[in-house]
Amino acid sequence: MRFSQRVVVVTGGAKGIGEGCSRVFAKEGGLVAILDRDIQAAEQTAQCLGENHVALPCDVSDEKQIASSIAAVIDRFGRIDCLINNAGIHPPDTPIDKMTPEEALGVLRVNFLSTYAMCYYALEHLKKTKGTIINVSSMTAVLGQRNSTAYAASKGAQLSFTKSLALECADYGIRVNAILPSNVDTPLMHKWASSLADPQAALQRIAALQPIGRMADVEEMGRVCLFLATEDSSFITGQGLHVDGGASLDY
């Protein structure tokens, strides 16, 4: 029980990597607040975790919904020990001349501005617990990704934000880190693959990008987040941890 009676807020915690985080933290005794725009899926996931967890409807691209969700978490649990900024989208493969600046801004709003706003509203509560913040960025933040300029830029923004916020937050005893996954077997991954000419071949090619020969499963991401949320990582802050099965080694 490495997170007993402590409270974790997971954006996009209903499915994919967020669901993996929710499951791992709940197993370790944590109280999980799932913030997700898909409230049906969020309620289902919260129910599967057992008693004492909560699902809240929240579209993280809307600052007002973020503010009221944080208030609802405090009403319910009275504290926040860890914030995982995970909710994100990956648009279909699109070259820059086919994605307008307005559309790119939409990607940044969901993937990056939400991270900023969540931290903005949760900070006063994290100060009280000397908590942790974990931003789910991506390997594309440092390596780039063809036909995904807006996505990769939003993930790069999350990473540089992590480093700068870690400097500010060190004064409060709050640690801030990011994880940089390569390829994780999630609904998002399958949706993205289905936008390509041959989805099955794409999924096989993606699995082979990891020297260990497969994609990650979602709880592997959750376990890394748990590490970053506990004393086990007490001397780590401002880092972007590659959680990529070695995918970045042989580029």
84, 225 Cβ separation under 8 angstroms? yes
Q: How many CA atoms lie within 13 A of 220 on its CB side?
A: 15
Residue among 8, 10, 110, 225 that touches ligand NAD (CB under 6 A): 110
Q: Are 32 and 53 in contact (CB under 8 A)?
A: yes
Q: Are 132 and 81 in contact (CB under 8 A)?
A: yes
CA 39 centroid distance within chain: 17
Shortest spacing between CB 45 and ligand NAD, in angstroms: 8
DSSP state of 235: T
Among 59, 63, 219, 220, binds ligand NAD (CB under 6 A): 59
Smaller CB separation from ligand NAD, 42 or 126? 42
Q: Which stretch binds ligand NAD (CB under 6 A): 33-41, 73-81, 91-99, 170-178?
A: 33-41
Closest CB to ligand NAD among residues 129, 145: 145
Q: Answer yes or no whether residue 16 interacts with ligand NAD by CB under 6 A.
A: yes
For 68, residues 6+ apart whose C-beta sits below 8 A from its C-beta are none
Residue 73 Cβ, how far from ligand NAD at the closest point, in Å?
A: 14
Q: Name the DSSP class of 111.
A: I
Among 54-62, 66-74, 96-104, 166-174, the segment contacting ligand NAD (CB under 6 A):
54-62
Using the rule CB under 6 A, is 23 a contact of ligand NAD? no
User: Is residue 193 a contact residue for ligand NAD (CB under 6 A)?
Assistant: no
Contact flag: residue 28 with ligand NAD (CB under 6 A): no
As a whole number of Å, the end-to-end CA separation of the chain is 39
Burial track 26-56 (b if 16+ CB lie within 10 A, e otherwise)? bbbebbbbbbbbbeebbbebbeebeeebbbb
Query: Which of residues 22, 69, 86, 162 is near ligand NAD by CB under 6 A?
Result: 86
Angstrom distances, CA of residue 237 to CA of 143, 220, 234, 241: 21, 20, 8, 10
Among 186, 210, 233, 237, binds ligand NAD (CB under 6 A): 186
Decide: is 244 part of the binding site for ligand NAD (CB under 6 A).
Answer: no
Binding interface with ligand NAD (CB under 6 A): 11-12, 14-18, 36-38, 41, 58-61, 86-90, 110-111, 136, 138, 181, 183-184, 186-189
